Structure 1
Amino acid sequence: MVPKGKLVIIGGAVDLGSSLSYNENINHPHYIKFFERGILRRMITESPKKEESVIEVITTASKIPEIVGAEYIKSFNQLQVGKVHVLDIRTREDALTEESIERAKNADIVMFSGGDQLRLSSIFGGTEFLEILKRRYEQEDFMIAGTSAGAAAASVNMIYRGSSSEALIKGEVQITGGLGFIDDVIIDTHFVQRGRIGRLFYAVASNPGMLGIGLGEDAGLLITEGRCLEAIGSGLTILVDGRYISETSIYDVEIGSPVSIDNLKVHVMSIFDKYDLHKHELKINKAIKVEEDVYLRIKDYD
């Protein structure tokens, strides 16, 4: 089934245009320009109701939900969106309340914040709340977004732990079930900044049928029709394709031993590039990249 909704996954540290993110660079013109035409703005322009959208920010994964929620309200308000609310779900019981269910049914955009993705899967897994989001994503022009942990948990399978420095040691990377909005991919976040390429290599080697998606900070993908991936944001996205692996030792070596992999295919995406998940084809949008001051000249998205 081709979903009618849109999925936005973000690598974390999205430029919120506020003190929580990129505070040290708040006066840097790159970030100011990007906030004006960036990931959050793109989310609004992709929503049918635009600035009139009802947005529910789910802070379940975060240890500081009050702070995170307030920052997202502030940031969306700066983009002229007034109907932004924090859905403060901290337990499975919270997810089952009548209020939570009704808010899931009435939102135009639901956004999962960062934190611990295992909290997302363990609290929402198997609930009516999650089933409502999935059904709306499949049948309506409805948007689900996630940043950091919220992005990592978006797929059917998710990475929930694993050292970056020892990722290619058998048994170090742990994978479990995610929220299940998209299949055949596995997602890692804060990818470039935290050196997590080994985690993604290992995850893909363990199941070469999954496309590995490594999202850098302030980098994201807008996913339409469950297959069309467009790079958004100022950062880089790395794709790891394991279909061409010719040999790996992952199934032979003992737990705790290093793993070898031959012939992984890697793509690098930046803003406006597109990847077809079914055809496994990357289209680099050179024409837009050569525009001067590109962050202020995205006329198609105004």
Structure 2
Amino acid sequence: MVPAGKLIIIGGAVDKGSFSESNFEKEVEKNLNFFETGILKKLIKESRLKEDSRIEVITTASKIPRIVGPEYLKAFEYLGATNVDVLHIETREQAMHVSVTERIKKADVVLFTGGDQLRLTSILGGTEMHDMMLAKYQNEDFIYAGTSAGAAAASSSMIYQGSSSEALLKGEIKITSGLGFIDDVVIDTHFVHRGRIGRLFQAVVSNPRTLGIGLGEDTGLLITNGNMMEAIGSGLVILVDGRQIKDTNITQVPMGAPISIKNLIAHVMSHNDVYDLAQRELTIMDDIIAFNEAEDE
């Protein structure tokens, strides 16, 4: 079944400036790279009612929710979206409250902030709120958006632990079930800055059907129809495809030993590039734009 909704997953470390600073208006060019690269603008544009869409910012993953929430309110207000509120959910008991499900029922967009993705799955997983979001994504013009932890938790399989420096040692990467909005992918965030390519390699070699998605900082994917992925933002998206792997020693070596992989395929996406998850095909959009311009001359 093709979902009616959309996903927007963001790599984290977004440069949105500090909206708690009194002088941010005077330094818009410095502070608003987040908007200039179009991620939040894209979210508003793709939402059902645009600037009038009901947006719930959910801070469950964060250790500083009372600081993070107001920052997003100011960011959205700056972009003209004022029907926005923050939903603080810190326990499963809170997640199960009828007031929470009523707010999710009315939402056009939910945006999960960064933090710890295991908090998201352990607090929200299997609640009525979780089920309602999944149903809205399948049947309505609804957006699930997440940055950092919120992005990592979007898929059915989720990386929740693993050292970047030791990522290609067997057993260093820990994977559990995510929130289940998209299958057959695993998402890692803060990808470029924290050097996490090895984490994706091990996640993919463990099950080559899974496509590894590495989101750079201030970079994301807009996913429509459940499989069309468009790169948004200022940085890079790394895709790791394991279907053509010819050999690996992962089942032979002991825990903690280095892993070898033969014929692992990687792609690099930048702004506007499109990847068809169903066909496993990357289209570099600048090539198409250049071709069309040449045809018009």
- What's the TM-score bracket when you normalise by the shorter of the two chains? over 0.9
User: For residues 233 and 37 of structure 2, what CA distance do their matches in structure 1 show?
Assistant: 9
User: For residues 113 and 69 of structure 2, what CA distance do their matches in structure 1 show?
Assistant: 8
Equivalent residue, structure 1, for 2:11: 11
Equivalent residue, structure 1, for 2:229: 229
Report how far residue 125 of structure 1 moved: 1.0
Report how far residue 178 of structure 1 moved: 0.4
Change (3 A) 1:246 1:152: same
Equivalent residue, structure 1, for 2:293: none
Q: Which amino acid aligns with 1:59?
A: T
Equivalent residue, structure 2, for 1:57: 57
- Residues 158-177 of structure 1 show CA distances to partners (whole Å, capped at 9, x for unaligned) of 00000000000011000000
Q: Which amino acid aligns with 1:221?
A: L
Q: Which amino acid aligns with 1:62?
A: S
Secondary structure class of the residue paired with 2:75 = helix
- Residues 200-243 of structure 1 show CA distances to partners (whole Å, capped at 9, x for unaligned) of 00000001000000000000000000000000000110000000
Alignment of 1:134-283 (within 5 A): 134-283=134-283
Equivalent residue, structure 1, for 2:125: 125
2:15–2:33 contact (8 Å) kept in structure 1: no
Change (3 A) 1:33 1:179: closer
Change (3 A) 1:157 1:19: same
Report how far residue 31 of structure 1 moved: 6.7
User: For residues 18 and 272 of structure 1, what CA distance do their matches in structure 2 show?
Assistant: 27
Equivalent residue, structure 1, for 2:103: 103
Q: Which amino acid aligns with 1:55?
A: I
Report how far residue 14 of structure 1 moved: 1.9
Equivalent residue, structure 2, for 1:294: none
Q: Which amino acid aligns with 1:177?
A: S
- Residues 235-289 of structure 1 show CA distances to partners (whole Å, capped at 9, x for unaligned) of 1100000001000011111111111011110000000000000001100011688
Structure 1 moving runs of 4+ over 6 Å = none
Secondary structure class of the residue paired with 2:7 = strand
User: For residues 194 and 27 of structure 2, what CA distance do their matches in structure 1 show?
Assistant: 24
Report how far residue 15 of structure 1 moved: 3.0
Change (3 A) 1:170 1:121: same
1:121–1:179 contact (8 Å) kept in structure 2: yes
Q: Which amino acid aligns with 1:194?
A: R
RMSD of the alignment, in Å?
2.1
2:169–2:257 contact (8 Å) kept in structure 1: yes
User: For residues 118 and 34 of structure 1, what CA distance do their matches in structure 2 show?
Assistant: 26
| Further displaced range: 9-18 or 82-91 | 9-18
TM-score normalised over the length of structure 2: 0.93
Gapped runs of 5+ residues in structure 2?
291-297
Report how far residue 36 of structure 1 moved: 3.6
Report how far residue 35 of structure 1 moved: 1.5
Change (3 A) 1:28 1:99: closer
Q: Which amino acid aligns with 1:106?
A: K
Report how far residue 37 of structure 1 moved: 5.2
Q: Among the aligned pairs, what percent are the same residue?
A: 63
User: For residues 288 and 143 of structure 1, what CA distance do their matches in structure 2 show?
Assistant: 28
1:209–1:242 contact (8 Å) kept in structure 2: yes
Change (3 A) 1:200 1:244: same
Change (3 A) 1:280 1:31: farther
Change (3 A) 1:33 1:97: closer
1:59–1:89 contact (8 Å) kept in structure 2: yes
User: For residues 79 and 91 of structure 1, what CA distance do their matches in structure 2 show?
Assistant: 31
Report how far residue 16 of structure 1 moved: 2.4
